[in-house]
Chain A
Amino acid sequence: MGSRDMIEIKNVSKVYKVGEIETRALNGVSFNISEGDFVAIMGPSGSGKSTLMHILGALDTPTSGTYTLNGKDVSNLNDDELADIRSEKIGFVFQAFNLLPRTTVFRNTMLPLMYSGIDEETREKKTEEALLSVGLEKELWQNHSNEISGGQKQRVAIARALVNNPTIILADEPTGNLDTKTGQLVLNTFKKLNREKGHTVILITHEDEVARHANRIISIRDGKIEGDKIVKV
């Protein structure tokens, strides 16, 4: 662990305004995450988990407070600057897979590389590596994304998340749409990536069973941190 933490969240609040009504989704949240960690963020529905993930993933900026990523303040960037951060440093895995329909597994995985302007040869190599590291059989690579199972879809999504070699892999309820057994397989994939390749993984869930796989569990409730404990070293 470096002297400086990779992620520094300081007193971050997020307020949504719908008409006259203000919702304080995050209320003065502070924590640090160091490189190579495997963190689970837990909390009941509506506690602000997804809001936190959007900020961590540079999809959104906080209403107040600061977010420093690799020593760079990213709390006040515009749309395209945020896109650059996402392209370079973040890999997302969504609950709903979000693969492009009628597009091959291979091309789906390669998508982030197309937006980062890497040359063709390198990006095909990286795509192959990513698909191999999530254990997806070569026979499936040219299948369309709607021609594979849910567990396979989520592994394609993970491959897509790590193809850019991002600093952080963010997963919002990645097992929410999967049965227990397939979910287990996906979680093992995250664990392997964290342990063997040193990827930093932040996983959002409301299931203890899922959070159990992480090294550290941050629990939030009503937009505030309720607990933060290291479960494994």
Chain B
Amino acid sequence: MKLADLLHEVYTAITVNKVRSSLTILGIVIGIGSVISMIALGQGAQTSIEDRIQSIGSNLLTIRPGAQSGFGAGGVRGGAGSADTLSSSDVEVIRQNVEGIAGIAPEVSSRYQVVARGSNTNTTVLGTSPQYVSVRNIDIAHGTFLSEINIRNFSKVAVLGSAVSSDLFGEASNPVGQKIRINGSNYTIIGITTEKGGSSFGSSDDTIYIPISTAQRFLTGSDSVNTINVSVADDYDMTLVEENITSVLLIEHGINDPAEIDFNIFNQGDIVETASSITQTFTVLLGAVAGISLVVGGIGIMNMMLTNVTERTREIGLRKALGAKRRDINLQFLLESIALTLIGGVLGIALGLGISYLANNIFGIAAEVSTFSVILAFGVSAAIGIIFGYYPARTASKLNPIDALRYE
């Protein structure tokens, strides 16, 4: 039988029982649509989480005082950062002895009540060095960031985070050149950072940056630092640099037994990896749940095709009597189920795209439809047509023409 004739038969068969065909197709539409939109939501979440982590710098190593422990638990524990085991000299030692460092910036931070022209706010005051901007991906909107000269001269200058700036001086104004009061001393504002938003890892917008030398002399009164940020050069392995820093600091601190280590190194790369593996699992899970509805849709196809074969037993017998071979009957019913699933597949892809569009533009949830998932959905729907249509088609093709013609 020619393909055009087969398609004509398939078209007639599907349109004869429009309600039943539509309901069967609907099952596939829902299945494919939910697979596409769920995978899109999963991948959207993955990308937006990765972007947020990336915005802090995925090549970042963070060294904090405290006992070494596994990733995660140690970071949360209150002990980290509370001991005074890191100092400015450690920064120099690392800078001079470890290869592959793109930038290094120590931090001393504490919360203070900050006053400016009558308004005041409670915020983090962070003493650091000029490289902080490159290490932590901070952009300057107005003025400049801290300079080496500021460090050397113990200058009382401050760079305001965008949120602090609008808290103290209002949204639109540019307060560069004005003064703020921290812990009883006046600081001149030399720059404002660009709003970074989103980052939940310690908001860089709600921070005031001052020279680390100034912070140590006038605020903490000690040489210790809370954190040392290290950005690793692009062509260096983060884990290797992390190990080198560990050994350099162990020697510097005179520790022989690694169990007595008095600092932690957090590897941002590990966090990115962990986060993406979590979101990947999440995507797979969503896809799998949606996949179940696809299987249910496939069973709907099989059910309809089996009903069809039973209802059309006489027709099958007649076709056989008129010269149809097994292959002709088999192909006709198989094509019928493939046609149903492909129509369902196309509509399902449209539904998936629609849901993703709504998620992105109405609900503000990131959803990314990949070409891959569309092609996959198409392939899967054709495969479902073949798999779930195979048995009914075979049943039909094997009918004995005499029995079939006699069938009431």
**CB < 8 Å: which of B314, B315, B325, B402 contacts A115?**
B325
Q: Tell me the complex Cα distance, A92–B405, Å.
A: 12
Interface size on B, residues (CB 8 A): 21
- Quick one: given A59-B402, A100-B315, A102-B12, are A115 and B328 in contact (CB under 8 Å)? yes
**CB < 8 Å: which of B1, B314, B321, B324 contacts A57?**
B321
- Quick one: given A98-B405, A100-B315, A103-B12, are A59 and B321 in contact (CB under 8 Å)? yes
* CB of B322 closer than 8 Å to a CB of A: yes
Task: Let me know if B318 and A98 touch, CB within 8 A.
Answer: yes
Task: Let me know if B12 and A83 touch, CB within 8 A.
Answer: no
* CB of A70 closer than 8 Å to a CB of B: no
* CB of A86 closer than 8 Å to a CB of B: yes
CB within 8 Å of A: which of B313-334?
314-315, 318-328
Q: Chain A's nearest CB lies how many Å from the CB of B405?
A: 7
- Quick one: given A98-B405, A114-B1, are A86 and B322 in contact (CB under 8 Å)? yes
Q: Chain B's nearest CB lies how many Å from the CB of A63?
A: 14
* CB of B234 closer than 8 Å to a CB of A: no
Task: Let me know if A60 and B402 touch, CB within 8 A.
Answer: yes
Task: Let me know if A116 and B326 touch, CB within 8 A.
Answer: no
Q: Chain A's nearest CB lies how many Å from the CB of B165?
A: 76
* CB of A22 closer than 8 Å to a CB of B: no
Most chain A CB atoms below 10 A, which of B318, B319, B321: B321
* CB of A111 closer than 8 Å to a CB of B: yes
Q: Chain A's nearest CB lies how many Å from the CB of B333?
A: 15
Task: Let me know if A112 and B323 touch, CB within 8 A.
Answer: yes
Interface size on A, residues (CB 8 A): 26
* CB of A54 closer than 8 Å to a CB of B: yes
* CB of B77 closer than 8 Å to a CB of A: no
Task: Let me know if A86 and B321 touch, CB within 8 A.
Answer: yes
Q: Tell me the complex Cα distance, A175–B281, Å.
A: 70
* CB of B117 closer than 8 Å to a CB of A: no
Give chain A residues whose Cβ lies under 8 Å from the Cβ of B1. 114-115, 117
Task: Let me know if A115 and B322 touch, CB within 8 A.
Answer: yes
Task: Let me know if A83 and B324 touch, CB within 8 A.
Answer: yes
Q: Chain B's nearest CB lies how many Å from the CB of A233?
A: 32
Task: Let me know if B324 and A115 touch, CB within 8 A.
Answer: yes
Task: Let me know if B314 and A98 touch, CB within 8 A.
Answer: yes
* CB of A190 closer than 8 Å to a CB of B: no
Q: Tell me the complex Cα distance, A60–B401, Å.
A: 9
Q: Tell me the complex Cα distance, A114–B2, Å.
A: 7
* CB of B251 closer than 8 Å to a CB of A: no
Q: Mark A70-97, 1 if CB is under 8 A from B, else 0.
A: 0000000001100110111000101000
Task: Let me know if B319 and A94 touch, CB within 8 A.
Answer: no
* CB of B16 closer than 8 Å to a CB of A: yes
* CB of A160 closer than 8 Å to a CB of B: yes
Give chain A residues whose Cβ lies under 8 Å from the Cβ of B92. none
Q: Tell me the complex Cα distance, A98–B322, Å.
A: 11
Give chain A residues whose Cβ lies under 8 Å from the Cβ of B257. none
Residue in A closest to B314 when the chains form the complex, CB atoms: A98
Q: Chain A's nearest CB lies how many Å from the CB of B372?
A: 40
Task: Let me know if A115 and B319 touch, CB within 8 A.
Answer: yes
Give chain B residues whose Cβ lies under 8 Å from the Cβ of A98. 314, 318, 405
Give chain B residues whose Cβ lies under 8 Å from the Cβ of A84. 323, 325
Give chain B residues whose Cβ lies under 8 Å from the Cβ of A80. 325-327
Task: Let me know if B321 and A92 touch, CB within 8 A.
Answer: yes
Residue in B closest to A116 when the chains form the complex, CB atoms: B323
Q: Mark A115-156, 1 if CB is under 8 A from B, else 0.
A: 111000000000000000000000000000000000000000
Task: Let me know if B322 and A92 touch, CB within 8 A.
Answer: yes
* CB of B235 closer than 8 Å to a CB of A: no
Q: Tell me the complex Cα distance, A206–B320, Å.
A: 26
Task: Let me know if B318 and A87 touch, CB within 8 A.
Answer: no
Q: Chain A's nearest CB lies how many Å from the CB of B316?
A: 11
Q: Chain A's nearest CB lies how many Å from the CB of B383?
A: 28
Q: Chain A's nearest CB lies how many Å from the CB of B330?
A: 11
Q: Chain B's nearest CB lies how many Å from the CB of A168?
A: 13
Q: Mark B1-32, 1 if CB is under 8 A from A, else 0.
A: 11001000000100010000000000000000
Task: Let me know if A111 and B322 touch, CB within 8 A.
Answer: yes
Q: Mark B378-403, 1 if CB is under 8 A from A, else 0.
A: 00000000000000000000000110
Give chain A residues whose Cβ lies under 8 Å from the Cβ of B401. 59
> A86-B323, A87-B322 given. 11 additional CB < 8 A pairs?
A60-B402, A83-B323, A83-B325, A86-B321, A94-B405, A98-B314, A98-B318, A114-B2, A115-B328, A116-B323, A164-B323
23 contacts between A and B (CB under 8 A): A57-B321, A59-B321, A59-B401, A60-B402, A79-B325, A79-B326, A80-B325, A83-B325, A87-B322, A92-B321, A98-B314, A100-B315, A100-B318, A102-B12, A103-B12, A112-B322, A112-B323, A114-B1, A115-B323, A115-B324, A115-B325, A117-B2, A164-B323
Nearest 4 pairs between A and B by C-beta?
A87-B323, A115-B323, A112-B322, A83-B325
Contact residues of B with A, CB < 8 Å? Answer: 1-2, 5, 12, 16, 314-315, 318-328, 401-402, 405
